[in-house]
Amino acid sequence: MSDTTAARSGTFEIGGDLPVRRLGYGAMQITGPGVWGEPQDRDEAVRVLRRAVELGVTLIDTADSYGPFVSEELIAEALHPYPDDLVIATKGGLTRPGPGEWLPVGRPEYLRQCVEMSLRRLRLDRIDLYQLHRIDPEVPLDEQLGVLGDMRDEGKIRHIGLSEVSVDELEECRRHVPIVSVQNLYNLTYHKSQDVLERCEAEGIAFIPWFPLATGKLAEPGGLLAGVASRHDATPAQLALAWLLHRSPVMLPIPGTSKVAHLEDNLAAAAISLSPDEVAELDKLA
């Protein structure tokens, strides 16, 4: 696959007024091991971000907990001042005691601080899409969403999204504030959030699958996934991304990488056209 432009993936309007290319970039992997500290090659991380924009990516997803703070700072260093059509989505509500550790904190005063500091690190006046990274079970939901709604009213947030929620949680959250996106674990081999995806489709809510490239044994030489990929002169990873794009019109995959070569390979998935029979064939692999 030689066509690596994200424009081939089509567009989706987040919240009805925020158009993005459907194949985006997830900026978690431009940090150190365990999503902790500086990347091993900072210059390459900057090149990845700039190359993503060059290749038509208009949605970059990050979080204050990636590093922590490192991913947001790198995005600003590499891309500010931002192109007019670039949407930077970030998240808050998870604290980082150490590498590989993630703990939810949803106290309103903490979430307000998260938003303010993300604005500062990203050098923005308003965050287009701000996502509650996890619901904190120790804090009333109306308090967690209430402060985000207040900051939306103040003009510091444009739209509010969620991460790792069930259908019931999504609907409960929507009773407090408008929700325009959900970011759940979903890929070719993991469909636990299928009911959430279907609800997002019904309501026109963006569904952002994290860990989109999990293919495991399906991608091994001689496997069924490798066979379908060979028909398209593609890699199994590219096929897994193409399947996500074909799976639903509200799907916005955000594959992440810290290498320009891998980024270009991932974005080439936008050019893969799967037949209905091939999509059905891949559906059965889960």
Residue 173 burial by Cβ neighbours in a 10 Å radius (0-12, 13-18, 19+): buried
| One-letter identity of residue 54 | E
| One-letter identity of residue 259 | K
Sign of the CA dihedral running 219, 236, 251, 182: positive
DSSP designation for 127:
E
- From the candidates 25, 66, 130, 186, give the one annotated as an active-site residue: 66
Give the number of C-alpha atoms closer than 13 A to the C-alpha of residue 237, restricted to the C-beta side. 14
DSSP designation for 161:
E
Which residues on neighbouring strands pair with residue 210, listed in sequence order? 185
What gap in Å lies between CA 231 and CA 244, rounded to an integer?
18
- CA distance readout (Å), 173 to 22, 144, 201, 208: 24, 10, 17, 17
* Closest C-alpha among 250, 242, 248, 181 to residue 213: 242
DSSP designation for 58:
-
CA 250 to chain centre: 13
Sign of the CA dihedral running 77, 159, 141, 135: negative
Which residues on neighbouring strands pair with residue 69, listed in sequence order? none
Mark whether 66 is an active-site residue: yes
CB 91 within 8 A of CB 63: yes
Q: Could you tell me if residue 80 is left (phi over 0), alpha (psi between -120 and 50 degrees) or otherwise beta?
A: beta
User: Catalytic residue positions?
Assistant: 66
